[in-house]
Amino acid sequence: MNELRVENITKSFKISKKQQKNSKSNVDRIVALQDFSASFKEGEIYGLLGPNGAGKTTALRIIASLIKADSGEIYFNDKNIYDEIYFYRKKVGFLTSELKLDDFFTPDYTFTYMSRLYGLSEEETKANKEKLFNRFGISAFKDVKIHDLSTGMKQKVSLAISLCNNPDVIIFDEPTNGLDIVASKDVEDYLLDLKKENKIIIISTHIFSIIEKLCDRVAIILKGKKVLEGELKEVTKDKSLDNVFFDLYYKEQGHEEY
């Protein structure tokens, strides 16, 4: 049974002069994420909900080991991920709808290339490719240069490629951002399938309906801090998710009433 846990992760960034000017302050660092802890289970979709700039992408990038936290630890099956980072990275898929692919290559070539980087065998690569390309309706386009594909198809190819290592942990930053409606539906359905396959799934979004449709548990994050976490059903027992969110949001802004 896979289990992933993060403990007290904090991350700050040095900010540019321009950012400093825009925020009208003279501090030169911003705390993007503060003391974030959570644990993630198999067969569950966990959603990080928060407005722009809340720290969602930062949290997900740290959990995926794309960047390092300033402090705090991440444990996969009770082992610190940095003790065996290559093992961990093989288990993780980081997805974003903003991933750019190289226009001059085909989906088939790109998938194989990425799978080789993961050190997968030819057989595994072939099996994963067939499964994902069929699932996303890419098979008929697998030999077409990415440049010549429709936007929706490009997006689906980029998702399939992000999943080429058949990861146990799927971290998906803003799953349907910028996707066309058909690709969005595909992605949502696919996440629910992955949940049935007992994957650990963590998503971030600023869209209430995505959390409502997909997530078992939700955390609300504001200005780098987790301000609420719970089973979606519990959190939305008395009010709708957007009411829960805005109550917290305006409280954080210092307005008790609105």
Ligand X SMILES: Nc1ncnc2c1ncn2[C@@H]1O[C@H](COP(=O)(O)OP(=O)(O)O)[C@@H](O)[C@H]1O
- Which one of the spans 55-63, 81-89, 161-169, 189-197 is the region binding ligand X (CB under 6 A)? 55-63
Q: Which of 4, 6, 30, 183 binds ligand X (CB under 6 A)?
A: 30
Cα dihedral: 78, 84, 90, 92 (round 10): 40
What CA–CA distance (Å, rounded) separates 127 from 67?
Answer: 30
- Which one of the spans 50-58, 83-91, 130-138, 207-215 is the region binding Mg ion (CB under 5 A)? 50-58
Residue 119 binds ligand X, judged by CB under 6 A: no
Q: Which of 52, 123, 140, 257 binds ligand X (CB under 6 A)?
A: 52
Residue 53 binds ligand X, judged by CB under 6 A: yes
Q: Tell me the two tokens of residue 236.
A: 């939305």
Residue 13 binds ligand X, judged by CB under 6 A: yes
CB 31 within 8 A of CB 221: no
CB 125 within 8 A of CB 112: yes
CB 14 to ligand X: min, Å: 7
| Partner that binds at residue 58, options ligand X, Mg ion, none, CB closer than 5 to 8 Å by kind | ligand X
User: Which residue has the CB atom at the shortest distance from Mg ion?
Assistant: 57
**Encoded amino acid at 43, one letter:** G
Residue 57 binds Mg ion, judged by CB under 5 A: yes
What CA–CA distance (Å, rounded) separates 232 from 2?
Answer: 22
CB 8 within 8 A of CB 38: no
CB 109 to ligand X: min, Å: 31
Q: Tell me the two tokens of residue 56.
A: 């969602």
Judged by the rule CB under 6 A, the positions of this chain that interact with ligand X are: 13, 15, 30, 32, 50, 52-58
